[in-house]
Amino acid sequence: MKKINYLLGYKDMHIVQDPEMFKFSLDSVLLANFVTINMTSRNILDIGTGNAPIPLILSRRTHAYITGIEIQKEVYDMAVESVNINNLSNQVNIINDDINVYAKNNTTKKYDVITCNPPFFKSTDQSNKNISSYKTIARHEVCLTLEDLMKVSKTLLKTNGTLAIVHRPERLVDIITLMRHNNIEPKKIQFVYPKQGQPANILLIEGTLNGKAGIKVLNPLMVYDDNGEYTAEIKSCLEAK
């Protein structure tokens, strides 16, 4: 059932969600805080925007025009409603389309920044897919593969434009290989750990189209402290800006 909730950490912003489809997670919040946005950034694209958590958070960081694209019509409808209830329709636009089709039809539309919280899992006959088609599309590379993401980013980014994604550490080699194959040079990376002593389970990585070689590895980010509470670093991401 569709509900209107407070946007995580942003008590004056709301988001429309439906647990039977797919609720946004901490991944989206971390990505929206990780991505580099410059004063010169004018156009931002969020691929697979879901119910629009990333555009909503980014609206607090920049005055740039933000476009979110979502392939699933019912999820797109929630994104539009989320934008409207926060009175952001002058800054945020949501499009219902397949990003692969959109990129083919918009080869002259160049973005300064692209963000994406893509499906994490490869889609195979052996994949343990969710019964819900909404969640399957969000979690498995059914409609968008990593290779697709890099190709459309190469098409839609301006030279020296930024691509930032959140993913799983086990896909790091695939990500870097596909970035470089599409002239996107990895520039910034951060590993996120559930807590001290546990392996990383989230990867944040950013690259620049036609950028120079050289990558910056940020300090590791811990989600929980020894008491099971969010760390100060995570709380800073969740505090309303």
* Domains assigned to the chain: 3-238 (3.40.50.150)
> What does the chain come to in residues?
241
Q: Inform me whether the pLDDT recorded for 193 exceeds 70.
A: yes
* Model pLDDT for residues 53-111, shown as the tens digit of each residue: 999 999 999 999 999 999 999 999 999 999 999 999 999 999 999 999 999 998 787 99
Query: Quick one: pLDDT band at residue 11, thresholds 50, 70, 90?
Result: confident
Q: Which helix (H) or strand (E) holds 155?
A: helix 146-156
Cα(187)–Cα(143) distance, integer angstroms = 27
- Average pLDDT of span 109-126: 76
DSSP 8-state code for residue 21: T
**Percent of the chain's residues with pLDDT above 90:** 74
Query: Of 219, 164, 221, 176, which is closest to residue 32 (Cα–Cα)?
Result: 164
Query: Quick one: pLDDT band at residue 124, thresholds 50, 70, 90?
Result: very low
Burial of residue 199 (CB within 10 Å: 0-12, 13-18, 19+) is exposed
Q: Inform me whether the pLDDT recorded for 17 exceeds 80.
A: yes
Query: Of 15, 11, 55, 64, which is closest to residue 31 (Cα–Cα)?
Result: 55
Q: What is the pTM of this model?
A: 0.89
* Mean of per-residue pLDDT scores for the chain: 88
Beta strands 202-209; 157-167: pairing state: antiparallel
Could you tell me if 46 and 55 are in contact, meaning their C-beta atoms sit under 8 angstroms apart?
A: yes
Query: Quick one: pLDDT band at residue 225, thresholds 50, 70, 90?
Result: very high
Cα(30)–Cα(237) distance, integer angstroms = 7
- Average pLDDT of span 109-130: 71
* Model pLDDT for residues 126-138, shown as the tens digit of each residue: 445 445 454 444 4
Question: What's the one-letter identity of residue 228?
Answer: G
Query: Of 202, 192, 189, 137, which is closest to residue 163 (Cα–Cα)?
Result: 189
Query: What was the pLDDT predicted at 239?
Result: 73
Query: What was the pLDDT predicted at 135?
Result: 47
**Beta bridge pairs of residue 92:** 66
